[in-house]
Amino acid sequence: MARIGVFIDTLGGSLPSSFQERIASFVQGLPQVVFCHPEVNLTSSQGLSRMARCLEQGGADRLLIIGGSPKLYESSFQKWAHPLPINPYLLTVVNVREQVLWITKDEAEALEKAKGIITKAVRQALASQPIESQSLPLKPEVLVLGGGITGITVAQTLARSGVHVFLLEKGPQLGGRALELQTFYNRPEEVRKWVGEKISELGRTPSITLFTQAELKHLEGHVGRFKAKIRNHRGKEDLLQVSALVVATGYQTEWEKGGIFSHRRIITLSEMERLLSEAKGPSLRYEGKDVGTVTYVLDTANEDIKVDSINAIKQSLQLQASLQCQVTILCKDVKVAADGMERLYRKAREKGVLFFKYEEAPKLSIVNGQIQVDVIDTALIQKKDQWPVSILSDLLIISEAFVPASETESLSRLLRIHLGSRGFLMEDNPQFLRVRSNRRGIFVAGGCRFPQEVSESLTEARAVAEEVLALLSRGEYACDLAVAEVDPKKCAICYTCPRLCPHSAITIEHYAEKNVYALPGREEKWPAAKVDPAACYGCGICVAECPAKAISLRHLTDEQIYAQMNLPER
Ligand SMILES: Cc1cc2nc3c(=O)[nH]c(=O)nc-3n(C[C@H](O)[C@H](O)[C@H](O)COP(=O)(O)OP(=O)(O)OC[C@H]3O[C@@H](n4cnc5c(N)ncnc54)[C@H](O)[C@@H]3O)c2cc1C
Ligand code: SF4
Ligand code: SF4
């Protein structure tokens, strides 16, 4: 029979003494309680030491704390580096401060409420079972997919910290989209030179193994033991065993020529970038003629992506200041939410770049070989103040649509990571976990997550590297086995749980081969779904959805819930 040791934490005297005494006499009357001690401050180091001694001497095998919020005790156990004198899953906390006293004026009513909660907690404590933890060795080996600026930076940062990196690039060379840029908007270096230096440094790093013109063909396993099969363009296959995976496969741009957009004087931002890289001055030449006027029409393809604004303002400065062009930028909104962009925007205005805002798409026509743009300028809010503007230009620059890289969808299926509504790879939590995917051990960064400028990609690359290093730093992954588990005898292999698990922690990959369980004392074997404890977050979705009731959470079984509610088991 389980024996419960109870501590009433008076929280430095903030529990009224009469309330505390009545609770103590109620608890002492419960049959399974072997002792009940008041403690002035259980979250202090001395309080915790006394608790450990009492538990040992009092012969209790379950611990019930009556006091404040469970978080309070969790953090003080960590703060004082105090090993809990009992398996953490045998500890139950009743928060009488926030859940009773702070919300109930009448003391008699508060007492009744507290008694009810304590009774349930005692039942819960009696039904609780110890849960062991598991430690998984982690080799410092990581696979990085994508050799753009994000992948290169992740690989270098990890390699500098002693991690062996396998860098996989599907194209013949490293560098990605950054190689198409001529200059940064916020750094003095020339982009190709800067990327080139990074690539040659990477080539000199022995702990980076580079695979170019190669693709990931198959991935199995979970954090700490991913097995990745890769194949190069000659058909040679390699099997890599890595602890974690970083996806940095970037994005691509699309532009459908057609109608007036086929006119040779309408070009894209990328084409303009190439033109500028070849421009020798003093003027810009296009098809053998000087270009005097350039108009950008932004936000036609991507309304909320700032790369266009950044690129256009950067280019306009070069055109206006060094190549004697008059530049006009038409956009729905000037997006300057990037480091140093506000300054650059002001500089562009000072140099004479004209900005107009529009809501209705500008009308384009050809007049004497030039492009005419007609638009209503909506910079002024009052409709009566908004004027039509007509601009004639030698070159019209439009933005391409930023779309996910061609294989993003198949990659998400292969890796079992989520896609966002626009088809880019999705982070687990946009506020807190921006570079973690829904799967433990798989990280996403750079343009594959969302179109972004180089400095943002670099920041994400460093964030990913830190996350990976934090994961690998102890050489092992320690996880509580407070996870879902399948009763193989009940599982009907209906495939509901592997489809629903948000963290892809359940597999039924090789029916009747791998996921076969031998039942103790039984001859026959059962195929069944299998939960990987290191990948499971214990969210309980599979438990709720399994039609055969074959899954349970080890730390919150049906029996424990029924016991808490004092219901007969079903
Ligand atoms: C038109 C345009 C203009 C831009 N202008 C600017 C600017 O002015 N200033 C600025 O700061 N930024 C600008 N950017 C953004 C900048 O180019 C990106 O931020 C940066 O290149 C993103 O780097 P990345 O490594 O995440 O992706 P990418 O550069 O796209 O690299 C991804 C790499 O992954 C590889 N890959 C793809 N799929 C796979 C796969 N399945 N397996 C293996 N490898 C794969 C690709 O071949 C590529 O080499 C611009 C981008 C574009 C497209
Ligand atoms: S939902 Fe239940 S029955 Fe279906 S595969 Fe998963 S464990 Fe088996
Ligand atoms: S508890 Fe949640 S994370 Fe764990 S296997 Fe079930 S659905 Fe997946």
Q: Which CATH number goes with the domain that contains 225?
A: 3.50.50.60
With b for 16 or more beta-carbon neighbours within 10 A and e for fewer, the 76-86 pattern comes to: bbeeeeeebbb
Give the position, in ligand 2's atom list, of the atom nearest the Cα of 508: 5
Per the structure block, which two tokens stand in for 266? 């309408």
Using a pLDDT cut of 90, give the percent of the chain over it: 64
Structural domain contains residue 565: no
CATH code of the domain in which 25 resides: 3.40.50
* 553 alpha carbon, closest ligand: 3
Given pLDDT bands bounded at 50, 70 and 90, which one contains residue 516? low
Assess whether 229 and 299 both reside in one domain: no
Ligand 1 pocket residue status of 183, Cβ below 6 Å: no
Assess whether 284 and 203 both reside in one domain: no
Nearest to 533 by CA among 159, 123, 73, 136: 136
CA distance 255 to 400: 5
Averaged confidence pLDDT in the chain: 90
498, pLDDT greater than 90: yes
* 542 alpha carbon, closest ligand: 3
Ligand 2 pocket residue status of 121, Cβ below 6 Å: no
Distance 506 CA to ligand 2 centre (A): 10
CA distance 544 to 561: 13
Give the position, in ligand 1's atom list, of the atom nearest the Cα of 184: 9
Ligand 1 pocket residue status of 268, Cβ below 6 Å: no
Ligand 3 pocket residue status of 540, Cβ below 6 Å: yes
481, pLDDT greater than 90: no
Structural domain contains residue 347: yes
Lowest-confidence pick of 72-76, 182-186, 199-203, 521-525? 521-525
CA distance 318 to 73: 60
Structural domain contains residue 325: yes
CA distance 46 to 57: 17
Tell me which residue range forms the domain holding 90: 4-131
Question: Which residue's CA is the nearest one to ligand 2's atom 8?
Answer: 491
Structural domain contains residue 169: yes
439, pLDDT greater than 80: yes
The pLDDT, as a whole number, for residue 430 is 79
Q: Which residue has the higher pLDDT, 384 or 66?
A: 66
Look at residues 107, 131, 155 and tell me which one is the last residue of a structural domain: 131
519, pLDDT greater than 60: no
Assess whether 156 and 234 both reside in one domain: yes
Assess whether 336 and 440 both reside in one domain: no
Distance 486 CA to ligand 2 centre (A): 8
Look at residues 376, 399, 422 and tell me which one is the last residue of a structural domain: 399
Question: Which residue's CA is the nearest one to ligand 1's atom 2?
Answer: 270
User: Using one digit for the tens of pLDDT, what is the confidence trace for 246-267?
Assistant: 999 999 998 877 888 899 999 9
CA distance 253 to 232: 25
The pLDDT, as a whole number, for residue 449 is 93
Question: Which residue's CA is the nearest one to ligand 1's atom 25?
Answer: 148
528, pLDDT greater than 90: no
Ligand 3 pocket residue status of 291, Cβ below 6 Å: no
Q: Output the CA torsion sign for 275, 278, 284, 285.
A: negative
Distance 492 CA to ligand 2 centre (A): 6
Structural domain contains residue 393: yes
Ligand 1 pocket residue status of 144, Cβ below 6 Å: no
Give the position, in ligand 2's atom list, of the atom nearest the Cα of 486: 7
Structural domain contains residue 315: yes
Q: Are 351 and 321 in contact (CB under 8 A)?
A: yes
Q: At what angle do helices 107-127 and 558-565 cross, to 10 degrees?
A: 150
Averaged pLDDT for residues 320-342: 92
The pLDDT, as a whole number, for residue 518 is 57
* 171 alpha carbon, closest ligand: 1
The pLDDT, as a whole number, for residue 488 is 85
Given pLDDT bands bounded at 50, 70 and 90, which one contains residue 367? very high
Ligand 2 pocket residue status of 493, Cβ below 6 Å: yes
User: Using one digit for the tens of pLDDT, what is the confidence trace for 6-25?
Assistant: 999 998 888 888 999 999 99
The pLDDT, as a whole number, for residue 569 is 58
Per the structure block, which two tokens stand in for 287? 């098809």
Averaged pLDDT for residues 294-301: 93
User: Using one digit for the tens of pLDDT, what is the confidence trace for 200-248?
Assistant: 999 999 999 999 999 999 999 999 999 999 999 999 999 999 999 999 9
Per the structure block, which two tokens stand in for 311? 């690129």
Structural domain contains residue 494: yes
Within 10 Å of residue 283's Cβ, how many Cβ atoms?
A: 16
Distance 546 CA to ligand 2 centre (A): 5
Residue 154: which H helix or E strand, with range? Answer: helix 149-160
Assess whether 465 and 487 both reside in one domain: no
Assess whether 262 and 325 both reside in one domain: yes
Q: Are 327 and 294 in contact (CB under 8 A)?
A: yes
198, pLDDT greater than 70: yes
* 247 alpha carbon, closest ligand: 1
* 461 alpha carbon, closest ligand: 1
Given pLDDT bands bounded at 50, 70 and 90, which one contains residue 108? very high
Given pLDDT bands bounded at 50, 70 and 90, which one contains residue 328? very high
Look at residues 450, 476, 502 and tell me which one is the last residue of a structural domain: 476
CATH code of the domain in which 550 resides: 3.30.70.20
Ligand 3 pocket residue status of 479, Cβ below 6 Å: no
* 267 alpha carbon, closest ligand: 1
The pLDDT, as a whole number, for residue 510 is 56
Nearest to 542 by CA among 487, 510, 499: 499
Mutation pick for ligand 1 pocket among 177, 189, 444 (CB with most ligand atoms within 8 Å): 177
287, pLDDT greater than 60: yes
Q: What is the ipTM of this complex?
A: 0.95
Distance 500 CA to ligand 3 centre (A): 8
Assess whether 70 and 174 both reside in one domain: no
Distance 565 CA to ligand 1 centre (A): 55
Ligand 2 pocket residue status of 541, Cβ below 6 Å: no
Q: Are 265 and 370 in contact (CB under 8 A)?
A: yes
Q: At what angle do helices 269-278 and 307-322 cross, to 10 degrees?
A: 30
Question: Which residue's CA is the nearest one to ligand 3's atom 4?
Answer: 536
Ligand 2 pocket residue status of 371, Cβ below 6 Å: no
Assess whether 299 and 279 both reside in one domain: yes
Assess whether 385 and 485 both reside in one domain: no
Averaged pLDDT for residues 442-469: 94
Assess whether 346 and 381 both reside in one domain: yes
CA distance 245 to 259: 44
Ligand 2 pocket residue status of 550, Cβ below 6 Å: yes
512, pLDDT greater than 60: no
Mutation pick for ligand 2 pocket among 489, 493, 530, 552 (CB with most ligand atoms within 8 Å): 493
Nearest to 475 by CA among 82, 152, 139: 139
> How many domains, in total, are found in the chain?
4
Question: Which residue's CA is the nearest one to ligand 3's atom 6?
Answer: 542
Question: Which residue's CA is the nearest one to ligand 3's atom 2?
Answer: 539
* 144 alpha carbon, closest ligand: 1
Q: Which residue has the higher pLDDT, 510 or 236?
A: 236
Structural domain contains residue 570: no
Nearest to 2 by CA among 72, 73, 61: 61
Ligand 1 pocket residue status of 92, Cβ below 6 Å: no
User: Using one digit for the tens of pLDDT, what is the confidence trace for 158-196?
Assistant: 999 999 999 999 999 999 999 988 888 888 888 999 999
Using a pLDDT cut of 70, give the percent of the chain over it: 95
Assess whether 94 and 40 both reside in one domain: yes
Assess whether 30 and 94 both reside in one domain: yes
User: Using one digit for the tens of pLDDT, what is the confidence trace for 373-426?
Assistant: 999 999 887 777 788 999 999 999 999 999 999 899 999 999 999 999 999 999
520, pLDDT greater than 70: no
